[in-house]
Amino acid sequence: MIKYWLITALFTTISLAACNLNSSSPDRKATDKFLNLQAYFQNESKYLGSGNYTLNKSIVLNNKQDLVSTPGDSTAIHDLFKPFMDVDLNKPSLREEYDTSSIYDPFSGKTTVIYNSKGKQTSPSEITMELDKQGNIQQIHVHSYTTNLVYEYRQDLQYLQHKQVRMTTYQKIAFLQPKILEAVVSIAPKTGN
């Protein structure tokens, strides 16, 4: 009798484990409620990370400017897109925290898709994407905002496909001067020597 229960328990455990393996790795695309920005920017990173592009950076921190030009290798492109890739609205904790709306322009055929946070402190608070006639992303704008009694943080990220990345950050801690950072990175094809 004990062998019967042990064998039954063993088969039940194996069956449950098999069910859990199948349910824990569903096709991500089939379960995504929102556009998968991580996958989009990974594809952009592969495309631009070929080394055939130059990154012209203008960085302003509290009114002090620095200009830098670097080759657009895969590491530099990945670092450039990292803040965008960190945005994942399809995380289980965020799936019901955003409203989706869209605006279609019948003249140009473009569509603007907007993800708006339902809560005041959800980060990011808004994502706006402009899609062309075929549904390809042409532009993305991500706005994040956090505030409490001692801290205020705002960040705007903007990507113009294959042209420019703009990041603006405002950070204010009580009793300290605010820090304002603006980085504009122009993406240009390399020119021959």
The answer to whether residue 97 is domain-embedded is yes
Domain of 170 in residue numbering reads as 32-189
pLDDT surpasses 50 at 59: yes
Burial zone of 58 (CB within 10 Å; 0-12 exposed, 13-18 middle, 19+ buried): middle
Instruction: Determine the Cα–Cα distance for residues 131 and 129; give it in Å rounded to an integer.
Output: 6
pLDDT surpasses 50 at 24: no
22 versus 66: the higher-pLDDT residue is 66
Cα–Cα distance list, 108 to 103, 104, 131 (Å): 12, 9, 11
Q: What is the pLDDT of residue 26?
A: 41
Q: What is the pLDDT of residue 193?
A: 52
pLDDT surpasses 70 at 8: no
The answer to whether residue 40 is domain-embedded is yes
Burial zone of 115 (CB within 10 Å; 0-12 exposed, 13-18 middle, 19+ buried): buried
Q: What phi and psi, each to the nearest 5 degrees, are found at residue 150?
A: -115, -5
Q: What is the pLDDT of residue 168?
A: 95
pLDDT surpasses 70 at 40: yes
Encode pLDDT of 96-111 as tens digits: 888 889 999 999 999 9
Distance from CA of residue 114 to its chain's centroid?
A: 14
Cα–Cα distance list, 93 to 21, 44, 63 (Å): 21, 26, 38
The answer to whether residue 95 is domain-embedded is yes
Mean pLDDT of the chain: 80
The answer to whether residue 6 is domain-embedded is no
122 versus 4: the higher-pLDDT residue is 122
The answer to whether residue 149 is domain-embedded is yes
The answer to whether residue 153 is domain-embedded is yes
Number of neighbours of residue 82 by Cβ within 10 angstroms? 11
The answer to whether residue 152 is domain-embedded is yes
Give this prediction's pTM: 0.76
Number of domain units in the chain = 1
pLDDT band at residue 129 using 50, 70 and 90 as cut-offs:
very high
Owner of token pair 């473009």: 110
pLDDT surpasses 90 at 12: no
The answer to whether residue 61 is domain-embedded is yes
